[in-house]
Amino acid sequence: MTTVSQLDLNEKKAIIRVDFNVPLNEEKKVTDNTRILAAKPTIDAVLSAGGSCILMSHLGRPKGITPDLSLEHILSEVEDVLGQKVIFAKDSTGEDAKTKAAQLKAGEILLLENLRFHAEETAGHENFAKELAQLADVYINDAFGTAHRAHASTTIIAQYFDENKAVGKLLEQEIVAIDKVLKTGEKPVLAILGGSKVSSKITIIENILDKVDHLIIGGGMAYTFIKAQGGTVGNSICEDDYLDYTLELLKKAKAKKVQIHLPVDVIATTEFSNEKERKTLKANEIEDGWEGLDAGPKSLSLFKEVVLKSKTILWNGPLGVFEFSNFANGTIELGTFIAESTAAGSFSLVGGGDSVAAVKQFGFAEKVSYVSTGGGAMLESLEGKTLPGIAALKA
């Protein structure tokens, strides 16, 4: 796959699929510019190689033209982050975009209006993709967050650029981080899966059993495994339809010599709330009327030992209901163990949804090796799927 530094960009117009799907407040001001910052290295690389940038993104899920979701709202934030003036085209295709793209000079940046104002974007329409392609000489995809979608701007457009297409720096980092965990990771390799339901992580578990030495199963998912093995889980979240399946998984793991680690004790309470009475119970002896919402101290010291002896760590999903302050301890502690292991030289990747929110909320983002920027795209990568946006860059 070609990288940005391998492209000839001198006097070239690069159309870059970025992920500027940023949160806006009521005044339509950007409240978190992480995604704009994340696109800056690729944009800077294009400009310093003598090219110009045409930036395209979606924002939200508009049905047709929706002024509240115009990318014009984020224009001044983009200018602040990139440190220069940015021209805005009031549609992603059509005369305004064509004229402004044609007039774009080396060193300049053009931002196109929200791609999803056209239904053709998510439908992956060829003509729409072709119109976007005609604005530029080269195509760069730097939007990991949408790389699992075969949309016009993320996948279909690539066919119009022959070899003049490349993976952006952010997307490249994501691919490298996933490969480090699933393909080239130094052993022992550990995956920590948490979150609410085992049913939503089945394909991930099946895929990673071939790749890891240890698997910690925490959070709400753990209770289905515990009940399947004869434990009582009280009112804890449990998927009875998956009891047999989890036993199968445990057998498969044994055959593949993967060590599974489940919680041995939990912090339980009497209803799904932050405020009720709490007590520590054995994970397989939870009384009726009680439900486990966090990992207990014995579980955490077991998990700590595994984390500290692992050289490659993948973390997806919290160990408890971290949104409730009284049940956030397990998730926070786990973050501390991973940070410690990382400081001692292991490679750690946090990805896919709520664990990313947790590492940010509790201040671990700088202390792990890599925090993924894509929820669904990361989950599909962990499931072993080839993402269409990445495949298109290779074709």
In the region spanning residues 105 to 164, those forming contacts with ligand AMP, defined by CB under 6 A, are none
Respond yes or no: is residue 376 known to be catalytic: yes
**Residues 225-264 as x/- pattern, contact with ligand AMP by CB under 6 A:** ------------x---------------------------
Q: Which residues contact 30 (CB under 8 A, 6 or more apart)?
A: 22, 23, 24, 36, 73, 74, 77
State the nearest-atom distance from the C-beta of 11 to ligand AMP, in Å.
Answer: 47
Respond yes or no: is residue 35 known to be catalytic: yes
Measured distance CA(4)–CA(26) in Å, rounded: 37
Reference 377, options 369, 368, 386; nearest CA is 386
Reference 373, options 133, 151, 42, 130; nearest CA is 42
- AA letter at 15: I
Half-sphere exposure of 1 (CA within 13 A, CB side): 20
Strands (E), 205-303: 214-217, 232-233, 259-261, 265-269, 278-282, 285-286, 291-295
Token pair of 267, please? 């912090």
Pick the binder of ligand AMP from 51, 124, 220, 335 (CB under 6 A): 220
Respond yes or no: is residue 169 known to be catalytic: no
185 is a contact residue toward ligand AMP (CB under 6 A):
no
State the nearest-atom distance from the C-beta of 307 to ligand AMP, in Å.
Answer: 18
Residue with tokens 């099946």: 206
197 is a contact residue toward ligand AMP (CB under 6 A):
yes
296 is a contact residue toward ligand AMP (CB under 6 A):
no
Respond yes or no: is residue 367 known to be catalytic: no
Catalytic residue among 35, 165, 201, 227: 35
State the nearest-atom distance from the C-beta of 292 to ligand AMP, in Å.
Answer: 5
318 is a contact residue toward ligand AMP (CB under 6 A):
yes
In the region spanning residues 343 to 372, those forming contacts with ligand AMP, defined by CB under 6 A, are 353-354
Which of residues 139 and 327 has its CB atom nearest to ligand AMP in the complex?
327
Phi, psi dihedrals of residue 93, rounded to the nearest 5°: -130, -175
* R_g (Cα) of the chain, nearest Å: 23
317 is a contact residue toward ligand AMP (CB under 6 A):
yes
State the nearest-atom distance from the C-beta of 280 to ligand AMP, in Å.
Answer: 14
Half-sphere exposure of 91 (CA within 13 A, CB side): 11
Which of residues 57 and 348 has its CB atom nearest to ligand AMP in the complex?
348
Catalytic residues, which ones?
35, 197, 353, 376
Q: Name the site residues for ligand AMP (rule: CB under 6 A).
A: 194-197, 200, 219-220, 237, 292-293, 317-318, 320-321, 323, 353-354
